[in-house]
Amino acid sequence: MQLEAATLSTINEWLNGNYDQKTKDEIQQLLDKEAVTELTDSFYRSLEFGTGGLRGIMGAGSNRINKYTIGTATQGLCNYLLKKYPGEKVKVAIAHDSRNNSDYFAGITADVFSANGIHVYFFKALRPTPELSFAIRQLGCRSGVMLTASHNPKEYNGYKAYGADGGQFTAPDDTLVMDEVANIKSIDEVKFDRIDSNVELIAEEIDQLYLDKITELSVSPEAIARQKDLKIVYSPIHGTGITLVPKALAQFGFTNLTLVEEQSTPDGNFPTVVYPNPEEKEALTLALKKAQEIDADLVLATDPDADRVGIAVKNNDGEFVLLNGNQTGSLLINYLLSAWEEKGKLTGEQYIVKTIVTSNLIEEIAKAKNVTYYNTLTGFKWIGQLMTSLEGKKTFIGGGEESYGYLIGELVRDKDAIVSCAFIAEMTAFYKDKGSSLYNAMLDMYVEYGLYKEELVSITKKGKTGAEEIKAMMEKFRNNPPVTLGGSKVATLKDYELGIETDLIANAKKDLELPKSDVLQFITEDGSIISARPSGTEPKIKFYCSVNAPLKDKAAFKAIDAELSAKVKAIMNDLEV
């Protein structure tokens, strides 16, 4: 059996260290089976914080999610907090989603925090990720942890670590936490013995405070009052959204909500879907069936930790169509800025944010409304960091990213499907009140600003060999960028890893302003934007393609949309992905 020396050394540490017998038996069984690939993937490295914190497949090993990797991460976080806030009674908050073992891992996390003398506010039942971010800010916590793997398959779990602002850690604190975790050389350094007096249960009181505060953000309560019987179908896809989305919609004033009963019970096996991901059409099958039965106005579906939402609306042929994250995000920003403008609330002090791989249509809308806009790196932690830096100086209206994550208002520092569901419903009521629909509002937006079409291609490369293949693909594009894409010359190359933007026509270079990240962007002469980046949370490399064209009237939508689809296909063929 050929295992690398470093991997074998880590395996032996686990077999001979202070780990429970069940864990040792699991490892020994893999050794007996000579399961080289699985052992390598389980032990060739330690799990690291990516754009979404700690995330991986559950099981035994240093590169798996288990009691010991969760405990080590928490001990490292404790060590960081106790150094950063010396002499202070440090407080943290912990929540978990509906995944298998999420409640168990949340308990382990609370054990370690409490054993280190840190006061824990512990949600006594499953709650959404955005509510954890809210609780950190409301309760004066220095940190918080959410046990979730978001929309990943059921084999996964994860650990999102948050800072005092309610946002995920960014530089330099992310590195400081990682260093503290890496400095733990033995599981014996992890304090697992809970001190009960340091753990305080929370739940409904935070729910109500959060719901009251998001309701205060409503911009068009009059439209809701007139359209309160809007037919809404909602699915939490077996996740935490069931705890707050129905309450939020009711508190906003909506009275006609239909739940997808088959998906309303939290269940970490996600029995009715292949993936609990609202980006996947399959995950919304039952919701769409229910919508057709009752002739709904709007379909909403949230992922297991309720930070992302997928939607469907009726087109002008009466068919339900799924909107992608760029379409929903653009509609939300267009609605928010239009509604704020109607109320005379745009004073020049407001701003919106999107990520570099999210539709530039959002920029065009902001420019037209004279509202400041910002671009950040991919990952909502960068939006949260920007919001914190501007807190008290400018007002954040809304923002989001193409991966179905949006935020309205400044209560939270992460994407928030609860407030997004409420505002998507409000937006639908707003346009229905004007005799339109969300679908027609989208077409009107395209006529005004141009038809923007975005597509994402994800290539999965699992394990150690997969990580090496992804790295090789990025190096190939970095060293040999394409000359043309979709029949248009590549005019600009943005290399965020090197921090350099190159004008390929004039052969001129300038520095990029954003932090360094392994992202490449190719911008063609006709305005197409193609981005390549390895995922920070999944074993994937992602290619984002954005093309656009003028749309002179709504009747031309299908024809122009088809032309843009063909263009995206040509670009992806040129990239050989």
- pLDDT tens digit string along 379-402? 899 999 999 999 999 999 999 999
Binned at pLDDT 50, 70 and 90, residue 466 comes out as confident
Q: Looking at 102, 114, 143, 150, which residue is catalytic? A: 150
Cis peptide before 515 (omega within 30 of 0): no
Tokens of 510: 């300038």
- Going by C-alpha positions, the residue among 257, 243, 275, 254 that lies closest to residue 123 is 243
Most distant pair of Cα atoms in the chain: their distance: 71
At 546-563, the pLDDT tens digits run: 999 999 999 999 999 999
Cα torsion through 480, 485, 490, 496, rounded to 10: -60
Q: 67-84 vs 173-182: helix axis angle to the nearest 10?
A: 120
Average pLDDT over residues 42-68: 86
In sign, the C-alpha dihedral spanning 401, 407, 413, 416 is negative
State the number of CA atoms in the 13 A half-sphere of 348 facing the CB: 0
Contact between residue 514 and residue 356 where contact means Cβ atoms under 8 Å apart: yes
Contact between residue 245 and residue 311 where contact means Cβ atoms under 8 Å apart: no
Tokens of 278: 């609202």
Average pLDDT over residues 137-143: 98
Residues 16 and 433: their CA atoms lie apart, in Å, by: 68
At 396-449, the pLDDT tens digits run: 999 999 999 999 999 999 999 999 999 999 999 999 999 999 999 999 999 999
Q: Is the pLDDT of residue 171 over 90?
A: no
Residues 433 and 564: their CA atoms lie apart, in Å, by: 32
Q: Is 133 a catalytic residue?
A: no
At 522-553, the pLDDT tens digits run: 999 999 999 999 987 678 899 999 999 999 99
E strand spans, 496-558: 500-503, 508-511, 520-524, 529-534, 540-549
Q: Which domains does the chain have, with CATH numbers?
A: 1-44 (no CATH), 50-204 (3.40.120.10), 229-449 (3.40.120.10), 451-575 (3.30.310)
Contact between residue 528 and residue 511 where contact means Cβ atoms under 8 Å apart: no
At 318-345, the pLDDT tens digits run: 999 999 999 999 999 999 999 999 999 9
Residues 107 and 234: their CA atoms lie apart, in Å, by: 30
% of the chain at pLDDT higher than 70:
99
Q: Which pLDDT score, from 0 to 100, does residue 56 have?
A: 92
